[in-house]
A and B are shown apart, each in its own frame.
Chain A
C-alpha cells in the first residue's frame, strides 16, 4: 500500500533554531501534500497545502514566513519551522494522495499520512 515517510519523528531543539521536517511518498507520486498540526487531545488542523512546483497555499492564520514549505519533487515536501519558539512545540503530520490517471483534484483516493514529527522547543 501507499507509504508516507516523515522524518525526523522527534526533535528537541533550542529556541531560535530552525527545524526542517521531511515528508516523502515512498511508493507513489503526489503532486499535492498536506501539512497538519495537532495539539494534545485535539484534532488535526490543516496548516497548508503543498503543491509540487509551485507555492504552497496556507490556511488563514498560518504565518507563511514562519512555516516555509517546499515541494521540490513529486515525492518530497519539506516544512521548515523558522526561528522556532516554545509555542511552536506540537505534533506535525504530513499527508499525501496518490495520483490516479493524472487527476489532481477530486480523486477518490484517500490521503496517506506520515507518522508525524513531535517538535519540542526548549
Chain B
C-alpha cells in the first residue's frame, strides 16, 4: 500500500538550533514529494517539493529537504529554528492519478 509516515507526533527544538522533521514514504515508481505547513485554523502552505534532480531541495522560509532514495526518506530541515516556525508540518506524496497522500503531521515547537 502506498503511504507516507511521519514517525514523530511532536518535535521540540530550541530557537537557533537546527531542526529536522522526519518523513518516509512507500510508493511505486518515482515519487513526487512535498512538504506543507499549517498554522492554526488555516489551510496548508506549500514549502517545497522534490520531483527530480538534486536530492537537496530548498524551499520557503529557509527550509530544505533531502531526498534519499535508498532510505525512502524526505526529511525536512532548517539550520537555525525560529519561534515563528512553530506549526504543524505535513509531508505528502502525489500519486499517478494526481491524488495526494498526507502523513499524519508533526507538530513543531520552537522554544524561545
Which residues of A are at the interface with B, using a C-beta cutoff of 8 A?
A: 4, 6, 9, 32, 34, 42-44, 46, 49, 91, 93, 95, 97, 105-106, 108, 110-116, 118
A106 to B43, Cβ gap below 8 A?
no
Complex contact B46–A110 (CB within 8 A): yes
A116 to B32, CA, bound (A): 24
Task: Determine the distance from Cα of A97 to Cα of B43 in the docked complex, in whole angstroms.
Answer: 15
User: In the complex, what distance in Å separates the CA atom of A42 from the CA atom of B103?
Assistant: 9
What size tier do the contact residues of chain B reach?
20 to 34
Q: Which of B62-70, B71-79, B92-100 contacts A (4 or more CB under 8 A)?
A: B92-100
Which of B34, B45, B97, B105 interacts with A43 by CB under 8 Å? B105
Report A-chain residues with C-beta under 8 Å of the C-beta of B51.
Answer: 108
Q: Closest chain A residue to B4 by CB distance?
A: A43
> Out of B44, B97, B103, B104, which one reaches A93, CB within 8 Å?
B44
